[in-house]
Amino acid sequence: MGRIVLSWRVHPGSWLQSDGHVGFSLNPHRYSSYTGVDLSELAIERAIEAHRRAGRTGKNSFVVHDIFTYVPTRMMDVILFKDSIYYGTNSTILSCLNRLCAILTDKGVFIVHMDNIQRHQRVSNLIYKHFSVLEENNALEETGILMIFR
């Protein structure tokens, strides 16, 4: 089963983690498990309720935690940072990504979405300097970017 993914390429059996509520927009037949992480207890409560109403409680779980220090309890195929990673300092981001590399499966990837690449160029530069970028797509939004890397 292939595991290098974008949301439209996620395969059954994939394990996903993100910093928000992406699990709600994923096709539930295309992944095995999703863990959303957020600092906001209210955001997590709302996500849990929305996913409960959608019948996804068996697949999706949520944790109130700082994404920069959270350690998943299993290996992950995808770790997605959606408009959050740039809140860290360069050293915090690098430390987080290096720590999470040990949590990625053999073909696992990081996906980073940033809403404004000009504003967050330092993060893009950091990723290019320290990781292998597999794909970059800035056509999703006029100024946004999606980076896939290991």
- Domains with residue ranges and CATH for the chain: 7-149 (3.40.50.150)
| Rounded Cα–Cα distance for residues 44 and 20 (Å) | 8
List the one residue out of 14, 4, 21, 15 whose CA is nearest residue 83.
21
Does 11 score more than 80 pLDDT? no
25's tokens: 């927009």
| Rounded Cα–Cα distance for residues 13 and 31 (Å) | 5
Give the mean model confidence (pLDDT) for residues 97-104: 94
Highest mean pLDDT among 60-64, 65-69, 95-99, 134-138: 95-99
- What pTM was computed for the model? 0.80
Is residue 31 a contact partner of residue 10, using CB atoms and an 8 Å limit?
A: yes
96's tokens: 């987080």
- pLDDT tens, residue by residue, 66-77: 889 988 888 988
